[in-house]
Structure 1
Amino acid sequence: MAILSLPPTLELQINLTDEQFFQLCQNNRDLRFERTANGELIIMPPTGGETSDRNADLTYQLRGWNRQSNLGKSFDSSGGFKLPNGADRSPDASWIKIERWAALTVEEREKFLPLCPDFVVELRSPSDSLEKLQAKMQEYIDNGARLGWLIDPKRKVVEIYRPNQKVEVRPSPTTLSGEDVLPGFVLDLSPIL
């Protein structure tokens, strides 16, 4: 057995088919992989305890709301999406409308979903580049996301992304509304921010 030591974030240019990329992810479940629209492979190691705890709370709140509303499907950070621009991304939390889920075949549901989520959240960890996360959030919006939140505990701010609107920056909010994308959802930020 060989042990591979990686820096906190590693980006490689590698030519993989969609199936090869999916198998790479399946064969290395201890790591999170993403792939940019240009084919750059991004390898992200597991997060630290603080970030993992925050992300678990975020996912728990989204899942709880979704169970009550039954309006769609929610996903945690291990869910992969093949965006229209060709990038493979896995937001920290995401959600799609039930109609979009129902339109997917069984085969499509078993692999990276071939769509951009309606709602995405990225939770900045200490090793994340703010500029790269901001670019990723804009990529989600450009590929069809209707609402996105970049939660940055380090700066104690949330950046809200919406199509055809300037990014809204909220310092130290206590809650966030799911607006018309997630009707009735209110995220309690006290355990996250």
Structure 2
Amino acid sequence: MNPLFADEPLVLDDPYMSRMSEDEFFDFCQQHRKWRIERNAQQEILIMAPTFSLTGKRNARLIGQLYAWWNLHPEAGEIFDSNAGFTLPNGAVRSPDASWVPAAQWNALGPEQQGKFARICPPFVVELRSKTDSLKVLLAKMEEYRANGTALGWLLSCDDETTYIFRAGQTGYETVQGFERELLGEDVLKGFVLDLRKLR
């Protein structure tokens, strides 16, 4: 199997669904909470397969490390797990596996926005790739995050231990091989260190 064309999300090809308002889409997601749902910039609804147990374990360890950093810097902003959906400036609704939003941006949203798919693109996002996830799809998603305002994004391909780093103001991405290392939050999440060895 070509790793660039592994399993891709199921696109619900229904003209009505592509015309759903934000509120209708939110209600649709509430009615199908067992599904992993996103919506792309063309307003197509994407259904992803459930997370495999190994990926869930890795995501828990990722969130655990992010939480440990946040617990020391709660005033800096808010962290989110893979259940959080965000409405990007291009209209897509995406749910990164982990993300962080500065306090000023989060607090600028009203309670109604915070309670739905907040209209904000997190400055920091992480996506975890399992061996059945399409690398092509995830690389495009990371580029979409950056185009919509993400300053630092990590795509962690755990099975082949490859990291793809996306930074604002750059084209392409940096590729780092091997998980016998740590990643730094750079100027976006100052002081954050992710130990990749714990994601094995």
Q: TM-score, normalised by structure 2?
A: 0.90
In structure 2, the residue matched to 1:145 is 150
**How far is the alpha carbon of 1:151 from its aligned partner?**
0.1
Aligned partner (choices 183, 186, 193) of residue 179 of structure 1: 186
How many residues in Structure 1 have an aligned counterpart in Structure 2? 187
Distance 1:20 1:127 in 2: 31
Q: CA deviation at 1:127?
A: 2.1
Match of 1:61 in 2: 65
Q: CA RMSD in A?
A: 1.3
- Structure 2 counterpart of 1:154, from 151, 156, 159: 159
| Distance apart, 1:164 and its partner CA | 1.9
In structure 1, C-alpha distance between the alignment counterparts of 2:25 and 2:133, rounded to whole Å = 23
Unaligned runs of 5+ in 2: 1-6
Seen in structure 2, the aligned counterparts of structure 1 residues 8 and 30 have a Cα distance that, compared at 3 Å, is farther
Structure 1 distance, partners of 2:117, 2:64, is 21
Q: Taking CA–CA contacts closer than 8 Å with sequence separation of 6 or more, which of the two structures ends up with the larger relative contact order?
A: 2
Asked whether the 8 Å contact 2:8–2:134 carries over to 1, the reply is: no
Q: Deviations over 1:66-122 (max 9, x none)?
A: 121121100000000000000000000000001111101011110001010010000
Partner of 1:4: none
Alignment gaps of 5+ in structure 1: 1-6
- Whole-angstrom distance in 2 between the partners of 1:64 and 1:24: 34
Asked whether the 8 Å contact 1:30–1:45 carries over to 2, the reply is: no
2:122 is the alignment partner of 1:117 = yes
Alignment partners' CA distance in 1, 2:163 and 2:36: 24
**What amino acid is aligned across from residue 11 of structure 1 in structure 2?**
V
Q: Give the SS at the match of 1:33.
A: strand
Greater helix proportion: 2
One-letter amino acid of the structure 2 residue matched with residue 89 of structure 1? R
Q: Does 1:95 align with 2:90?
A: no
Normalized against structure 1, the TM-score is what?
0.93
Q: Structure 1, residues 110-156: CA drift from partner, whole Å, max 9, x if none?
A: 00010100100000022210000000000000000010000001221
Q: How far does residue 8 in structure 1 lie from its aligned partner after superposition?
A: 7.1
What percent of counterpart residues are identical?
47
Runs of 4+ in 1 over 3 A off after TM superposition: none
Which residue of 146, 170, 173 corresponds with 2:176? 170
